[in-house]
Amino acid sequence: MDWHHETSGWSGLQFFGKMSASISHEIKNALATINETAGLLEDLTFLAEKGKPLDSERLKTLSGRIMKQVRRADEIVKNMNRFAHSIDDSVKSVELGEVLKLMAALSERFASMRGITLEMNPPSSPVAITTDPFFLNHLLWRCVDFAMNAAGQGKTVGLLTEETENGPRIRFTRLEGLAEAPAGTFPAQGEKDLLDALKAELRVDAEAGELVLALSRDISP
Amino acid sequence: MRVLLVDDEEELVSALAERLSIRGIKADWVTSGEDALKRIQSETYDLALLDVKLPRMSGLKLKKLLQEKNPELKFIFFTGHGSENDFKVGSAEAGAQYYLAKPVNIEVLVQKMNEVLEK
C-alpha cells in the first residue's frame, strides 16, 4: 500500500460510508413504496370480498408501480455493487463516461435534497483511462459536492467527459454561483491528495462557471 | 381525523393516503414542504405525517413552520434513514414512539395517529 492509500484511507472510508448510507436510504424508499402499493392491493382485494367491484385497470396500474419500484431498487443495488467493486484494483482501465454516470447516479439523492439537477452529457465516443477507480470516484464526488454548492440560481450542474489534444478531462459546467464561492477554498488538501494520486489537475474557471478536471491517461508506475 | 401526508415519494404517499381513507381517515398528500405550507393555508388538519428528509427543507424545519401556522397540529415523523443520530434528533422532536422507520406497518401507524391525537 502506497502513501496515497495510507493518507486517503480515513476520508475514503468516510466517503464510502456517506454513499452507502445514501444508497440504503434510497432502497428503503423503494421498499416503502412497494409496501404501500402492495398493501393497497390487499386493501382493494379485501373490499372486493365485501362486495365492492374491483377495477382491473386499477390493479394493472398498481402492479405496474410495484414492478417499476423493483426495477428502481435493482438499479440502485447494481450501482451499489459497481461502487463497492471500485475498491478492488488500485489501478485499472475504466471508461470515463461510465464512471461519471455512476457518480451522478450515486449523487442523485444529495442533489435532489438540495434542489439541484445533475445534467449528464454522454461522451460522443468512449474515453478509456487507466487509473485508481476508487480515488477517481472519491475525487468526482468532492467535485460534484462543491459544484452543487456553486450551482447558483440555475440549480443545474452539467457533467461531461471529453477527449482533448492534451488528454481526457471532465468538466462540471453551468456553475453560475462559482464567482461567489470563497476564493482559494477549493481544491483543499483532501482534493489535492487525490489529484496527486491520480496525476490529475483541477482548474477552477470562475468566468466560464466551470470546474475542469484534467486526468492522466495512465497512472501505472 | 384529518391528516396531511408529506413525502417526496409520490407513489408511496398517494397509496398511503388511499389506504388511510379506506380506514376512515381523511388524508391529503403533498410531495414537498413548500406545498405543505400552501395547503395548510386553506385546510385545517389534526395531524401531519412528515418525512424527515424532504428535498430543500427538512421535515424538522417544516414541522416548525407548520406549527407557526397551526399551533394545534400534531406530528408523526417517518424516515428511510437508519442512522442513530437521525433517530436521536427526530425522536427528540416527535418522541421516540412517534418516529417511525419506513416501511411502516399501516396498523401501527393508525394506532400511533390515534395515540398522538389523544395526548
The pLDDT score that the predictor gives to residue A4 is 66
| Axis crossing angle, helix B59-69 with helix B33-42, rounded to the nearest 10 | 10
Nearest CB among B12, B19, B56 relative to A32 is that of B12
Distance from CA of A81 to the nearest CA of B (A): 20
CA–CA separation, B5 and B21 (whole Å):
12
Pick the more confident residue, A186 or A8: A186
Q: What is the rounded average pLDDT of the residues A138-155?
A: 95
How does pLDDT run across A57-83, given as a tens digit for each residue?
999 999 999 999 999 999 999 999 999
Distance from CA of A48 to the nearest CA of B (A): 12
Q: How far apart are CA A103 and CA A97, in angstroms?
A: 10
Chain A positions touching chain B (beta carbons under 8 Å):
21, 24-26, 28-29, 31-37, 39-40, 43, 47, 62, 65, 69, 112-115
pLDDT beyond 70 at A110? yes
With a CB cutoff of 8 Å and minimum separation 6, the contacts of A88 are A133
Average pLDDT over residues A188-205: 94
**pLDDT of amino acid A2:** 66
List chain A residues with CB under 8 Å of B83: 21
Q: Which residue is associated with the grid cell 379485501?
A: A46
Cβ atoms B48, B1 nearer than 8 A: no
State the pLDDT at residue A146.
Answer: 96
Say whether pLDDT at B101 is over 90: no
A25 vs B55, B80, B103: nearest CB: B80
pLDDT in tens, B20-76: 999 999 999 999 999 999 999 999 999 999 998 899 888 889 999 999 999 999 999
Residue-level length of chain A: 221
Query: ipTM of the predicted structure?
Result: 0.90
- For chains A and B, what is the number of CB pairs under 8 angstroms? 68
**Core vs surface per residue B3-27: b (16+ CB within 10 A) or e:** bbbbbbbebbbbbbbbbbebeebeb
Contact B102 A43 (CB under 8 A): no
In this prediction, residue A12 carries a pLDDT of 92
Instruction: Report CB contact under 8 Å: B15, A24.
Output: no
Q: pLDDT digit string (tens) for B78-88?
A: 888 766 676 67
- Give the nearest partner residue to B83 out of A21, A33, A34, using CB atoms: A21
State whether B56 and A36 contact (CB < 8 Å). Answer: no
* Banded model confidence at residue B96, pLDDT cuts 50, 70, 90: low
How many alpha carbons fall within 13 Å on the CB side of residue A206?
A: 9
Nearest to A12 by CA among A100, A102, A141, A167: A141
Confidence of residue A41 (pLDDT cuts 50, 70, 90): very high
Which residues, in sequence order, are bridge partners of residue B99?
A: B77
Are A25 and B12 within 8 A, CB to CB?
Answer: no
Q: What is the pLDDT of residue A7?
A: 60
User: Which of B9, B19, B56 lies closest to A39 in CB terms?
Assistant: B19
The CA distance from A161 to A172, in Å, is 9
**Total length of chain B:** 119
CB contact under 8 A, B22 and A25: no
Answer yes or no: is pLDDT of B93 > 80. no
CA A72 – CA A198 distance, rounded (Å): 33
What is the per-residue pLDDT for A221? 82
Q: Inter-axis angle of helices B10-22 and B106-118, to 10 degrees?
A: 70
CB within 8 Å: B81 and A65: no
Predicted pLDDT at A6: 62
pLDDT value for B105: 93
Cα–Cα distance measured from residue B1 to residue B45, given in angstroms and rounded to the nearest whole number: 8
